[in-house]
Amino acid sequence: MNPIEDAQISPAIAAARAAFSGWSLMPLESRIEFLRALESHYRSEKESIAQAISAETSKPLWESRQEADAMAAKIPISIEARAQRCAEQSRSLPDAVGHTRFRPHGVLAVLGPFNMPGHLPNGHIIPAILAGNTIVLKPSELTPKSGDIFTRAFAAAKFPPGVFNLVHGGKSTGAQLASHPQVDGILFTGSTAGGIALRRACTDHPEKILALEMGGNNPLIVYDPGDLAAAAYHIIQSAYITAGQRCSCARRLIVQRDQSDALLRQLVTMLRNIRIGLPGDDPVPFMGPVISAAAAEKLLAAQEDLIRGGGVTLVEMKRSSRHPALLSPGLIDVSAARNRTDAELFGPLLQLIRVDDFNAAIAEANRTAFGLSAGLISRNPDLYDQFQNQIRAGVLAWNRPLTGASSHLPFGGIGQSGNHRPGGSFAADYAAYPVASLESPIAKLPEKPLPGIVIT
């Protein structure tokens, strides 16, 4: 381990390990009281939390306020989810009582992303500490100040020392946390490349719980949509909210070849009128910058690659002179493109694909190694029935934005989008493990002993 990294990692893990016994043995209701105090802090400090998120990510304030609200809402949702999914169960058996109880893993490392640096780490942290685990958080190196939001919040709620701990660093710090012998699990939200690296770091540690929520090349099918303005609005919210920097954002728009012209005219008009800007702008923008100038450069290069490969520009993604990472939304028709790459382009760039019929739309949507989210905009319920039965994804939307997931439901994908450890309400499942026990109040001889045992 790098000595500089070890200087912060080892003390944080040691503090979490020291706190684990007392925290895990604390009655559940007592842990809930601490979480209620944390919820109160989140709600009372909503504006300062939102300001901090916007200052670091450059997201519009309206969106950061939504994120702060989601952080507070996660607490009652997690309490309800644990009661539903991890309640103690008992069953009378012929010669014993069978019990199923749930126990925490121990010290869990949470590795957070930059796009929602409050809400997404919080989505791991809350169910984990509710279950009795202690936490070491490493925020994204692109949004390190978000860690201060949690440090202040846990201090304000008067959590016992060591329940929450903060470290900083990049990929190597994450790998060191993942492979550390005193870390019992890793809860990760980020890129597929990052998730694969963490899995490799844990190759020799099958005992560690590993929950991976990764990216996607997410399809949105629009087929017989009805209201074209509503369809265009949902496309925009699906593809361009957070400047396209949500793992659930639509990356591929799939439309019926001979019925899409009116829809695309509506969409192009609305795209050209989207207001982009910085958090303090008035009037308020819909989109802010992507996370960095380097990210903007990669996206502009990806757009050029699409065009060189046969893509046709419907709306060009352009860099604003106001900020090196501020991009306008882009829409590229890649229907005739050669060798379309199955990749997550993490920004405001949407690829259009025209197909001849709905079966072809489903086949195109499933032409990906990812499987996070997928959506259908259609007024035909029979098409949705076919869609939800045949699509390969973990989060579906019908006549709703792909980005409108609910914490009351599971959230996670298949393929290269996850490892079957969905978050949302199902985070309770990876925050604790079940223990089965057969129990009798006294030991007694059976009426019919096993053959070959002589009882004297």
Q: Catalytic amino acids?
A: 213, 247
Q: Are 393 and 371 in contact (CB under 8 A)?
A: yes
Distance CA(444)–CA(452), nearest Å, equals 18
For residue 110, the number of C-alpha atoms closer than 13 Å in the C-beta half-sphere is 33
Contacts of 201-208 with C-beta under 8 Å, sequence gap 24+, read 201/175, 202/178, 205/179, 208/178, 208/183, 208/184
Q: Are 138 and 174 in contact (CB under 8 A)?
A: yes
Distance CA(192)–CA(417), nearest Å, equals 7
Which residues have C-beta within 8 Å of that of residue 333, sequence separation ≥ 6? 311, 312, 313, 314, 351, 352, 353, 354
Is the backbone of residue 255 left (phi > 0), alpha (psi -120 to 50) or beta? beta
Distance CA(173)–CA(151), nearest Å, equals 19
- E strand or H helix at 307, and its extent? helix 293-308
- Of 392, 40, 59, 26, the closest CA to residue 244 belongs to 59
**How is 172-220 classified by DSSP, letter by letter?**
HHHHHHHH-TT--EEEEES-HHHHHHHHHHTTT-TTSEEEEE----EEE
Q: Are 169 and 190 in contact (CB under 8 A)?
A: no
Q: What is the token pair recorded at 112?
A: 């957070």
Q: What is the token pair recorded at 296?
A: 């903007």
- Of 246, 235, 276, 415, the closest CA to residue 346 belongs to 246
Task: Provide the 3-class DSSP secondary structure of residue 388.
Answer: helix
Q: What is the token pair recorded at 146?
A: 């978000």
- Of 102, 137, 109, 163, the closest CA to residue 428 belongs to 102
423 C-beta neighbours (distance < 10 Å), count: 24
For residue 253, the number of C-alpha atoms closer than 13 Å in the C-beta half-sphere is 28
